[in-house]
Amino acid sequence: MAKKKTNRRKSAAPTRQVVTVPAGKASTKRPPGSSRAPRGASSAATAASPSAEKVAEGQNRQARKEEARRHREAIRRQMARRRIYRRVAVVGGSVLVVVALGFLVSRTGGGELTGEQQSLLDRADQAATAAGCDQVQTIAAFDPADQDQTHVGGPNGPPTMPPFSSYPSTPPASGPHGGGTLPANIYDSPPPMDQALHSLEHGAAIVWYSPDASADELAEIQTFFRENQDHVIVAPYNYPDQGAQGTLPSGKRMALASWHHVRFCENVSLPVAFAFARNYATAEYSDYRGDAPEAGLPI
């Protein structure tokens, strides 16, 4: 039997659609699968930039806080090691060394004091009474509070340094400040306040004194802190262009300042100044009790 022939029709190859674009005109047709950018995307990105700056500043601030925390821990470990080495140098015998190591590592107190420092600390309470000192005051944050740590000219800070009258205390103890810090030193003239405040944020303590302070007692403070200068600033407080806030309160010749803390005295006193620095400056001899947000960072 003859086989029937089957005619199989070949499928035609798909034809491509050719779009002719007139010369001088760009095609607005999008390739298949492409999507149109949502309307307003450009304006949304522009509007988001201030928020991005705030996020970036917040991340930088958090990084600085973390760096400060690590620095404080390093200081504590360094002080503990020094105490251990000094004791080990004195104590002989392996058993006694082990006992000394266990005792010293378990200590949680402040840095070891020299004989002079201990003597000043022992006399601090009596000296505070003699110098007419008030108790340490806790100072509120700058208003508005979200500018308490801002940098002048920064994304969230004021464009220029605010007048002293806008700060919660005289002298100021927190608030908008400059980008640079004021190094620990003994100053003969009033230093820039924007830098001084930044140093307080890093855990410094400032011994402010009035121009009419006793020369002899002031000399004691200056001599001592030249040798014990870590995170401590000694300077005159005299800013005539700031009105009443440019001088210390009436009857006060010394003001001790740290971040959010101030203590006033009628007269300058080295034992009182050292006791304040021990508690509120992140120095090697510190028994730190302050709350500076970036305590321990260099100034």
Q: 170-213 pLDDT, tens per residue?
A: 999 999 999 999 999 999 999 999 999 999 999 999 999 999 99
Q: How far is CA 22 from CA 15, 19, 295, in A?
A: 22, 10, 70
Q: Give me the pLDDT at residue 102, please.
A: 34
Quick check: 254 and 81 in contact, CB under 8 A?
A: no
The average pLDDT across 123-139 equals 98
- Quick one: DSSP state of residue 231? T
Tell me the mean pLDDT in the region 116-138: 97
C-alpha to C-alpha distances, 122 to 115, 116, 206, 263, 271, nearest whole angstrom: 11, 10, 21, 19, 8
Per-residue confidence (pLDDT) for residue 224, from 0 to 100 = 97
Compute the average pLDDT of residues 264-276: 98
Q: Which residue has the higher pLDDT, 237 or 55?
A: 237
Query: Which band of pLDDT confidence, cut at 50, 70 and 90, is reported for residue 58?
Result: low
Report which of 210, 265, 168, 105 is spatially closest to residue 275, judged by C-alpha positions: 265
Average pLDDT of span 64-72: 64
Distance between CA atoms of residues 112 and 83, nearest Å: 7
Helix (H) or strand (E) holding 261: strand 261-265
Distances (CA, A) of 214 to 109, 232, 240: 34, 20, 21
* Block residue for tokens 């010369």: 23
What is d(CA 261, CA 205) in angstroms, rounded to the nearest whole number? Answer: 9
- Mean pLDDT (whole number) for 274-283: 97
Which amino acid, 68? A
pLDDT of 55 reads 57
Q: 272 and 133 in contact (C-beta within 8 Å)?
A: yes
Pairing of β 254-258 and β 232-236? unpaired
Percentage with pLDDT > 90 across the chain: 61
* 228 phi, psi to nearest 5 deg: -130, 60
pLDDT in tens, 24-39: 444 444 445 544 544 4
| Distance of alpha carbon 184 from alpha carbon 234, whole angstroms | 8
Mean pLDDT, range 276-283, rounded to an integer: 96
pLDDT at 166 over 70: yes
